[in-house]
Amino acid sequence: MADPREPSAAGESGGAAAAIPQIPGAPHVPGPGGAAAPGAGVLRTRVYQFSLAVPFASPGRADYACHLLTERTQLRWPVRRELYVHGRMLILRLTAEDHDLLNTAVAFFLEQVSLVRWTLKHFLHPLFA
């Protein structure tokens, strides 16, 4: 049986090369010898993700922190934010296709989480949390 990664006798590429999706209207980029370069016309998107679990003293404080961060921190389209509470843990997940935008969003959220934790510790009476 022939190796599916090797060109067939008819000169067509088979196997893995045939499985690469072609984008309609993508420019044809010639490779060596005038043949299409491997992966020509294929758009590759890499997704970067950052997850953080922040412990709080009580589920009430975690819920209040989630509320404060949801109301006060709106991100623009390129960075997707998921923020929820599980028990006394505040879970944050940031996703972006651009590494630099994700780094900026992570720095921003770490600063905001730190500020919220400090505020809850110093200004929220224990009976209210």
pLDDT at 9: 46
Residue 30: predicted pLDDT: 53
pLDDT, residue 21, reads 43
- 80 in Cβ contact with 95 (< 8 Å): yes
Structure tokens at 78: 């390129």
Domains of the chain: 48-124 (3.30.310.50)
SS3 13: coil
| Tens place of pLDDT per residue across the chain (129 aa) | 554 444 444 444 444 444 444 444 444 455 555 555 555 556 668 999 999 999 998 999 999 999 999 877 676 678 899 999 999 999 999 999 999 999 999 999 999 999 999 988 888 766 665
DSSP for 36-96, written as a single string: BPTTTT------EEEEEEEE-SSHHHHHHHHHHHHHH----TTEEEEEEEETTEEEEEEEE
pTM across the whole model? 0.59
Say what the alpha-carbon torsion angle 69, 71, 75, 76 is, to the nearest 10 degrees. Answer: 170
